[in-house]
Structure 1
């Protein structure tokens, strides 16, 4: 199969978690002659979420767009699709992994991501959850971030320290590239 990197489609599927959903969706993608370039799965509450980045020629992308709604009804899924193009990698001066955990206090993630927005720090990946530990609810987050050349790293790190010290949250900011 010859692929044109300009023909890509993002497909998001959400529905009640049960065995076989991934198999059905990947089979449909394969039958339409598309290739799965990237994918993510998460279980949120009782809901299954599946995001795929597909690539193929225009006819293959059109076949997926035509067939997904029928398959979605059959599987009881809510789906959304959007055409896109190959990601253009930006040049960053540094990449970090921020991990933090502590008391599950509403608003911590919002404050952290707002700081990132204020400093134009790019969020490349984010995973956050809450769990019970020793009878108390705690949160934990892992965020991959990229600094552009314009970011004042020292000031950003200082502001991050302020947020976490006020929230009694432990964190590690480790350079990964």
Structure 2
């Protein structure tokens, strides 16, 4: 069994997820982890699969990429050796006027207190910029993170909130 990281990007269209999933299932590749999204008319997918070799997966995806509209990459990765969560789940939310550097500033503050971002989504909706990030964080650092996020928020002119994630939300 091989563990593979696969990315697929290109213009969004109906059926991409089904096409990729069917191609992978057809050769016995099991989707262990995946994230898929639409970004301003473009589709992006990242998968971790186990199963056949990287060459077999590339060949299976060739029919989907032959017209040049989709780009697929496949590479072997090492299995995760330490899957232990290093903290508890928290959510960081950011809302405000769009400006350069918001993601960089907020994520640097999170990293500075040892928080590990496990998922992050950002979206520009008209003039409003929104970020929602899931963070694994040692609860002992939650107050420190909240204080530092407040400082960053004031500098950026945005609203930032930090709260424990409810298990049913995740």
| Number of the residue aligned with 1:158 | 147
- Normalising by the residue count of structure 2, what TM-score does the alignment of the two structures yield? 0.83
Q: For 2:90 and 2:5, locate their aligned partners in 1 and report how far apart those are by CA, in whole Å.
A: 26
| Number of the residue aligned with 1:63 | 56
Paired positions, count: 165
Contact kept in structure 2, 1:34 and 1:60, CA below 8 Å: no
| Number of the residue aligned with 2:132 | 142
| Number of the residue aligned with 2:107 | 113
2:5 equivalent to 1:10:
yes
- Normalising by the residue count of structure 1, what TM-score does the alignment of the two structures yield? 0.80
The RMSD of aligned alpha carbons is 2.3
**CA deviation after TM superposition for structure 1 residue 60, in Å:** 5.6
**CA deviation after TM superposition for structure 1 residue 62, in Å:** 4.4
2:41 equivalent to 1:52:
no
2:32 equivalent to 1:37:
yes
Q: Which ranges in structure 1 are unaligned for 5 or more consecutive residues?
A: none
**CA deviation after TM superposition for structure 1 residue 123, in Å:** 0.5
Q: For 1:32 and 1:81, locate their aligned partners in 2 and report how far apart those are by CA, in whole Å.
A: 14
Contact kept in structure 2, 1:41 and 1:48, CA below 8 Å: yes
Contact kept in structure 2, 1:128 and 1:139, CA below 8 Å: yes
